[in-house]
Amino acid sequence: MDISYNWLRQYLPINLDVNEAAALLTGSGLEVEKVIPFSSVEGGLEGLVIGEVLSKEKHPDADRLNCTKVNIGTGEPLDIVCGAPNVAAGQKVVVAVVGAKLYPSEGEPFEIKKSKIRGQVSEGMICAEDEIGLGQGHDGIMVLPADVKVGTPASEYFKIENDFVLEIGLTPNRADAMSHIGVARDLRAVIREIKGGHENLKLEWPDVMGYSAELKENPIAIDVQDLEACPRYVGLYIQGIEVKPSPAWLQNRLKAIGARPINNVVDVTNFVLHELGQPLHAFDADKIKDHKVVVRTAKTGEKFTTLDEVERDLNQDDLMICNASDGMCIAGVFGGLNSGVTEKTKNVFLESAYFNPVSIRKTAKRHGLSTDASFRFERGIDPETVVYAAKRAALLIQEVAGGKLSVITDIYPNPIPHQKVEVKFANINRLIGQDIPKETVLSILDDLGIYVEKKREDGLKLSVPSFKNDVTREADVIEEVLRVYGYDRILGSGQLRVPLIASNKKSPEQLRNLVSDALTAQGFNEIMNNSLTKASYMDKLFPEQANAKVEILNPLSTDLNAMRQSLLFGGLESVSRNIRHQNLNCKFYEFGNLYETSPNPSKEGKQAPPLTPPRREGEFAVTRSDDSGNVKSERTSPPLEGAGADGVVWPYSEHRSLALFITGRWQKERWNAAAGNATFHHIHGAVKSILNRLGIEAQLHDVTGTKAYAYGMEFRTKDGKLLANFGLVNADVLEAFDIDQEVFYADFDWDLVLKRSALNSIEVTELAKYPSVRRDLALFVDKTVKYAQLEQLAFQTERNILKEVDLFDVYEGKGVPEGKRSYAMSFILQDEKATLNDKTIEKTMNRLQQRFEQEVGAVLRG
């Protein structure tokens, strides 16, 4: 969401630097992601001044050019070659000096340089309006009034407005901040609390007291047939307007936030939407049949052509704004093709309404539409601003387009009550972790518009205003207090609190932090992706598992229409995004929850326990793992949106996972180390380092049960439970994400990892007295030969001094015979009673090689 800083300061008279204001807003929960300079004319006419043409002479070598001398008030006049036919001595003109960058109305920007044109020196440029972005005319240079002072900056003469745009990453629950007034309200509260000295700082609302109805009747009758979908509907009539371009101030406000000016009436409705957060719609009143507006749901089979000239098949649940017989607008979402304001419009019917958020959201998603109006309606606007916004817009339309105003028709039979919340001071202090003075709490609540109905010694009874629809509980009120008070003012925030006596037992959070620290030390970066993903990923890439996905009813978009079954897709999206932005070398890790429908066997091999007692109607089962990795079930409601047509609501399971992604170079190029590409060895090493760090003994096997890998391996516990699999991602999977370089991926069952971690029961052993020796073998074997076979053969061949066998590389490709695979294996040899000699080592390795050749046909790789 974009907020103009100049616009915001119309309601909050402050002189704060824009970056300081951005920091205060971010600290209060309205994260300012960017601060972008804006000028009402691109480039702000920097480097352009008003000059006077002192003389004009024909160019000696060009019939259509003139040599001029121009005074710009800096001393010596400039020599400028000009081709405009209307240039003449004595004119006041706009001059671009050397070094100025011009932004024409059409074409690319260009810089003015000192040059020679047909042998004559030119030290600038006399400008036409299209050359500096002030219009489309190019029939000659701009000639200004004679009384304009030479040397005046062009930006000053043309009243160019310079502004800053705050790009705010608005969270879905902050419907109260979807406007300049809403953001100003929060900024005022934070300034008064944190900066101090602003006791008299007021939020200056636009004045609508001047609304005067010259027309004593509203000629448009209103019939609201669905009060559930439309609890409040306001309409008024404006007679005798003139539709024309908006004045510069209005156009500049809209341009600053990226909105395109259309005409004065439509621009006012857009202005008020961004000012107050209240969407409005202006109809050409003369196109309303029988002078009647009907608010109803669509009829079965009804079709409607929207403003984008698309004919849409309506659903019987779509709310429509209609005339006596036909639809005029999809309520709160999109206008119709033939009912809007045009340059011929003389009379306007102005609509301001409160629509049910759920109804609007479903309609918008059903038709694949997302507009500024639907964005606000589906999050919940303030029903008490509806009339105020209508008056504000009507007065602005009267100001910029003329006309007479009618009385206002307001249909609101069942007013929406304010939420009542009780909050205790003790709970505020307990949840925040610090005692906040009661006077501070009361001041913050007052600044946020939360009314104290009753004050007691131990707490407050509050009436929450209708614009704060996300504040419904005591915890919500405490969050409001805390975000204005300032998270960084809490004592000890940012300090690590450690108990005096440390416990040997490590919590799941500590184990996660341990692994995070280890991965970060290896150069990995943590990523966090949405738990919602595209259902089409699983449908297309792993269709055999797609029937277990948890689909979302009325999803936010087709990109977020299912709960994720794997961290693979989100991670590959992150890899793809980085590659597109020229970051070709990525090492990522992500912790996240995965979801599947039906009580499928868990990764522990146990069936998720049935829910007992039997579920009541309106409940569904959830199978989760607790912090120790134990599976548990619980009942919850409402039912999962995705129940079958037979009314059966299937349970879904939820478990935790850890994923690693490596692509590109493993490390940066250094003077003492080459920058080689990541290989199977690196992902294997990363996985093994995690298991080792957590004290988990695991056995290496060839990967089974997944098509994600071109080739891969997996670690299992001694009793066969899958801890992690890893390998090179299949090319077909990478192609779906437009990735054309190798990506190595690992997937951990984090619940099982937590359960099997041995850090809570560490065994201490004596250090070996005699050194160990490592030897490696690289073998070609048939693809049907599993690594586990080789490992088993090795330990069967040498039982005394062979301590460890490991696989550090797997390769298929150039140089490997057809049907073969290369395994590179390491062997750790150690005698606990004596130092090994070369003869013993060589004899052992020969025996291993011969056993591999005899049993599985292995060939030593040269």
pLDDT tens per residue across span 430-488 = 888 888 899 999 999 999 999 999 999 999 999 999 999 889 999 999 999 999 888 88
Of the candidates 732, 805, 396, 336, which has an alpha carbon nearest to the alpha carbon of residue 541?
732
Q: What is the pTM assigned to this prediction? A: 0.61
Of the candidates 18, 34, 33, 38, which has an alpha carbon nearest to the alpha carbon of residue 187?
18
C-alpha distances out from residue 409 to 123, 234, 293, Å: 64, 6, 12
Quick check: 313 pLDDT over 60? yes
Kindly report the average pLDDT of the chain as a whole number. Answer: 86
Q: Structure tokens of 35?
A: 């601060």
Quick check: 635 pLDDT over 50? no
pLDDT at 138: 81
CB-neighbour burial class of residue 767 (10 A; exposed 0-12, middle 13-18, buried 19+): exposed
pLDDT-based confidence at residue 637 (cuts at 50, 70, 90): very low
pLDDT at 54: 92
The mean pLDDT value for 731-747 works out to: 93
**858 in Cβ contact with 779 (< 8 Å):** yes
Outline where 150-229 has alpha helix (H).
Answer: 154-157, 180-190
388 or 676: which carries more pLDDT confidence?
Answer: 388
The percentage of residues in the chain with a pLDDT greater than 90, rounded to a whole number, is 56
Phi, psi of 329 (to 5 degrees): -165, 140
pLDDT at 543: 84
Longest dimension (CA), the chain: 112
pLDDT at 807: 86
pLDDT at 599: 46
**320 in Cβ contact with 349 (< 8 Å):** no
Quick check: 765 pLDDT over 80? no
Of the candidates 591, 589, 580, which has an alpha carbon nearest to the alpha carbon of residue 741?
580
pLDDT at 35: 92
406 or 490: which carries more pLDDT confidence?
Answer: 406
Quick check: 139 pLDDT over 90? no
For residues 677-707, b (16+ Cβ closer than 10 Å) or e, as one string?
A: ebbbbbbbebbbebbebbebebebbbbeebe
Q: Residues 177, 182, 184, CA angle at the centre, nearest 5°?
A: 125
Q: Structure tokens of 713?
A: 């391996």
pLDDT tens per residue across span 513-553 = 999 999 999 999 999 999 998 888 888 888 888 788 888 87
- E strands in 271-424: 280-284, 292-297, 303-305, 311-313, 319-322, 327-330, 334-335, 347-354, 404-405, 409-411, 419-424
pLDDT at 640: 39
812 or 191: which carries more pLDDT confidence?
Answer: 191
pLDDT at 149: 93
Quick check: 577 pLDDT over 70? yes
293 or 708: which carries more pLDDT confidence?
Answer: 293
The mean pLDDT value for 175-184 works out to: 92
Q: How far apart are alpha carbons 191 and 13 in whole angstroms?
A: 12
The owner of tokens 């060839």 is 702
Neighbours of 600 (CB within 10 A): 15
Non-local (6+) Cβ contacts of 162 within 8 A are 37, 38, 39, 40, 44, 155
Helix axis angle for 474-485 and 180-190, nearest 10°, is: 70
Neighbours of 206 (CB within 10 A): 16
pLDDT-based confidence at residue 763 (cuts at 50, 70, 90): low
β-partners of residue 823 are 779, 810
Q: How far apart are alpha carbons 314 and 661 in whole angstroms?
A: 45
pLDDT-based confidence at residue 233 (cuts at 50, 70, 90): very high
pLDDT at 633: 41
Handedness of CA 407, 412, 418, 419 (dihedral sign): negative
The mean pLDDT value for 722-740 works out to: 92
**Range with lowest mean pLDDT among 240-244, 371-375, 555-559, 578-582:** 555-559
